[in-house]
Amino acid sequence: MHDTRRTRVVLGVLLVLALVLITFDYRDGSSGPAHDLRQAGGSVFGGMERVVSAVTGPVVGLFRGSGSGSSSGQVAALQQQIIRLRAQLNQEQLSRAQYAQLTQLLQLSGRGGYRIVAATVIAMGQGYAQTVTLDAGSRDGVKPEDTVLDGQGLVGTITSVNATTCTVLLATDATSVVGVTLADSGQIGWVTGPGKTRSGSGLLRLQVLDAGAVLSRGTQLVTSASVHDRPYVPGVPVGVISKVENRAGSLTALALVRPYVDFTSLGVVGIVVVPPSHNPRFSVLPPPPPRAKPVPTVTITVTPGSHSTPSPTATP
Amino acid sequence: MRRAVLSAVLLLVALVLQLTVVNRLPLPGAGGPDLVLLVVVAIGLSGRPAAGAVTGFCAGLGLDIAPPGSYLVGEYALVFCLIGYLCGRLSGTSNRSALLTILTAMAASAAGEALFAAIGLAVSDPQVTWPSVRDVLPSSVIYDVVLSPFVLYLVMRAVRLADGLGRVSAPAGAADGSALLARTQAGGGLARGALGGATMLGGAGLLGGAGWLAGPVGSRGPRGPRVPRGSRPHTPRTPHLRQAAARPGDGWLGGGPRTGLPSAPARPARPGRPPRLRPGAGTAGSSIARPARTLPRSAPSLRMGTSGRRRDGSLGRTLGAGLGGVSGAAALRARSGPPGSAFRSRPGGPGRPAAAGRPGGSGHGPKFRPETRLPGGSASPGVLRGGGIARPLPSRRVSLRLGSARRHDGVVGGSALRGSALGPGRGLAARPVSLRLGSGRRGDGALGGLSGGSRLWARAGRGAQRRAAPRFRSGGTIGGHSVLGKRTPLRAGKQARFGAGRSSFLATWTGGRLGGRSTVWRIGSRRTGGLR
């Protein structure tokens, strides 16, 4: 189509506007026009997301929940009934799953002494971002840099709050850094997120400040104490070391950490609005998996020349 | 306005669904589809570049500031603005075939994903890192490419629906006028055949939105060529009109040589008949070169298509009404309807393909351009008035002008006709109505006739005294006679060249088969627009 001068002017103005916005947001992210814009957008779109998520929640649950089999009934009425019942069942299962999540969450918060506000994930970030939106906002007492956890462990921290919604930066995001303490040795380090990776199964990267620290698989991590308990309250389980990467000459010891939380199926989460009065240390950690007891092996030494008898263990 | 509302609604729905449903689905692969990008691409492909840019910017800004968004505000706005603009640009070139549109949508969505990753890396967004780009980008590109045809289809349907609503609420007066015109055309013996001409004429007229249709937005339809003719007359997309516009001209053009059958009304529009006039045909008329394909590409020609149609009918009708009882030739003309058929029905027409066929080029609906300067298209009262101007002059000689609106080019049709077919001794009266074919240059509005009439008439008269050599030919058989015009004498052996006025790169690549936000195809160079 014809590309008139006016079109080019429009395009140029819009591009300059976008660049100006990027610049403003880059310079001062927590204030300024970009922040105001984001606040306004959050209040507008957040409400819509709440409504839509309430409607589409069962749909999402259908896909991510228990798989649905194929109904072979030929009668349409029966099929409809099956579908309806299945939807009902799915809703039931969803609410049951949420109930289980909530129970776990309450247990964990009770153990840790956190006071939490329960919230539900209503939207997830786009593209490369690992962020979610929760349906709790400043009306519920949520403030920026609150810690978010669920029944298994640490989820993330609040980055922005609107009246009815808030945005959580997940621990797996590339910009997330969580200070942690190793459960066995008390070494401190930090965990960074891998960003968006294949099917969300990203392992966190642990760096321990002591380069000579001996890391071993199965070591559990909890969040370490922060100033004024922000952005992470202490004692929240983060994950378990799954692989140790020893790099010669590195200033820090490296390891990969498998998080406790399944970030692909976040449902009910809790926002810690009142941090614990004392550091729960490692009391919130789940019991470590029972170690496999070493099975004694029988070694048979056969000396040539001597009279050998068949070993009793050789016979089944 | 209607489109703006529709775009806003579509984008809002896409945005909220994207954030609340699509992003939460446990899809395989790191990335997921981007509904907002796909909708932006589709809207861009169905609109103008400016509309695409604005749409993309707004959509991107919405995605930037919607709650879970954690990128820098403006990143998505920048990317989607560019993508929307590019899609708007490409919509003109890709509107010839649905497949091309789909491919464009796929490419544009993939480009959008890649561009966002590139900008994220460029501004060193901490979330967009090389490892995540390697993981996310391929899968999201695949998702987008797979989903883009469906989103494109849905958006096109929605746009079409919205435009149809707009059509219903079109001004009733214009609708009535054009409908009446069309009906009288169809019923008054034009009878292009139910398939191509009359049905579409009636449809276009009934819709009455010709002025709206002529607008650049409505005139674009990526799936236009696939739409069967005659069906769905309610769709606001002009591809119907374009094809239908070319159809009667075709018949008329080609009818020149075979006017042995003077019963023009009985002749139906032959579907699937190849365009008579083609570059390689070697006949004089051949240089008009399948205008059915080429002409409809531009908005001016579209506008001309509808208005030319109407003019067509009105001219033919007028001639018929005025001369119906006067002479046999006039009666034949009246029966044949469009002016071209008037020529066709002349004695000697069949024997003179050069004479009859060449002016026939202007028998194409789009080429009659009575008043290009009228902005509103054919439904505007001005054009109707312009059409009315032609009517009260029943005894005009009709000379068809071919080529662009250079000073002399009308002479091609005119002088040739006059010299050969319409000799001055035929006794037809005073001033010719010159039908002009070609671009919207200076001589536009010559059909309406009055403004340019005298000048052109003088020119044509001068040309008539000269030898009326066919100026268009594909071979160099006709010796060079500087027939017309001081500036551009006809050079011997020079072939007529077909070029778009402003062709897109796609048109350049494909040799004009695809693409073509070009204006009317002209014969000659793009500077002069004339024949050389």
**Percentage of residues in chain B having pLDDT higher than 90:** 18
Closest chain A CA to residue B47: A1
β-partners of residue A207 are A190, A254
Residues of A in contact with B67 (CB under 8 A): 41-42, 45-46, 49, 123, 133, 160, 162, 165, 167
B390's tokens: 């032609």
pLDDT at residue A311 in the model? 52
Residues of B in contact with A7 (CB under 8 A): 48-50, 53, 85, 88
Helix (H, G, I), strand (E, B) or coil at A282: coil
- For residue A231, whether the previous peptide bond is cis, meaning omega lies within 30 degrees of 0, is yes
Of the candidates B224, B35, B10, which has an alpha carbon nearest to the alpha carbon of residue B146?
Answer: B35
Q: Contact A6/B50 with Cβ under 8 angstroms?
A: yes
Q: Cβ contact (<8 Å) for B73 and A34?
A: yes
Which amino acid would we find at residue A144? P
What DSSP assignment string belongs to B236-270?
--THHHHHHHHHHHHHHHHHTTTTT---GGGPPP-
Largest CA distance in chain B: 85
Q: Is A138 on the interface with B (CB under 8 A)?
A: no
Q: How far, in Å, are A97, A98, B115, B233 from residue A103 at the CA level?
A: 10, 8, 44, 62
Q: How far apart are the first and last CA of chain B?
A: 45
Per-residue pLDDT of chain A (316 residues; tens, 9 = 90+): 466 888 889 899 999 999 988 888 888 766 777 788 888 888 888 888 888 888 877 777 666 544 334 444 467 778 777 777 877 777 777 677 778 888 888 877 777 778 888 898 999 888 888 899 999 999 989 998 999 988 888 999 999 898 889 999 999 988 899 999 888 888 889 999 888 876 545 789 899 888 778 888 888 888 988 888 888 988 888 999 988 887 777 778 889 999 998 888 888 888 988 888 777 777 778 776 666 777 777 878 777 765 555 555 544 4
What ipTM goes with this model? 0.78
Residues of B in contact with A59 (CB under 8 A): 21
Q: Cβ contact (<8 Å) for B85 and A162?
A: no
Closest chain B CA to residue A10: B50
Q: Please identify among residues 191-250 of chain B the ones whose CB lies closer than 8 Å to any CB of chain A.
A: 216, 220
Residue pointed to by tokens 């900008």? B119
Compute the distance between CA of residue B93 and CA of residue B111 in angstroms, rounded to an integer. 18
pLDDT at residue A291 in the model? 67
Residues of A in contact with B136 (CB under 8 A): 127-128, 196
Q: Is A205 on the interface with B (CB under 8 A)?
A: no
Task: Tell me the domains of chain B and their CATH numbers.
Answer: 2-168 (1.10.1760.20), 172-499 (no CATH)
CA dihedral A23, A24, A30, A35 (to 10 degrees): -120
Q: Contact A267/A121 with Cβ under 8 angstroms?
A: yes
Q: Is A164 on the interface with B (CB under 8 A)?
A: no
B65's tokens: 């500031």
Residue among A21, A127, A133 minimizing CB distance to B77: A21
pLDDT at residue B105 in the model? 92
Q: How far apart are the first and last CA of chain A?
A: 84
Q: How many other CB atoms are found less than 10 A from the CB of residue B78?
A: 27
Q: Cβ contact (<8 Å) for A40 and B65?
A: yes
Q: What would the pLDDT profile of B67-94 be if each residue is shown by its tens digit?
A: 888 888 889 999 999 999 999 988 877 7
Q: Contact A242/A256 with Cβ under 8 angstroms?
A: yes
Mutate one of B17, B19, B78, B505 to test the A interface: name it (highest A CB count within 10 A).
B19
- Give me the residue spans of the domains in chain A: 7-64+73-277
Compute the distance between CA of residue B284 and CA of residue B299 in angstroms, rounded to an integer. 28
Q: Is B75 on the interface with A (CB under 8 A)?
A: yes
Q: Contact B414/B398 with Cβ under 8 angstroms?
A: no
Q: Cβ contact (<8 Å) for A165 and B57?
A: no
User: Parallel, antiparallel, or unpaired: how do β-strands B432-436 and B397-401 relate?
Assistant: parallel
Residue among A14, A24, A128 minimizing CB distance to B53: A14
Residues of A in contact with B85 (CB under 8 A): 7, 11
Q: Cβ contact (<8 Å) for B74 and A53?
A: no
Residue among A22, A41, A127 minimizing CB distance to B66: A41
Compute the distance between CA of residue B356 and CA of residue B259 in angstroms, rounded to an integer. 9
Residue among B50, B74, B126 minimizing CB distance to A25: B74
| Non-local CB neighbours of A77 within 8 Å, separated by 6+ positions | none
Q: Which residues of chain B have pLDDT under 70?
A: 95, 166-532
A70's tokens: 């194929």
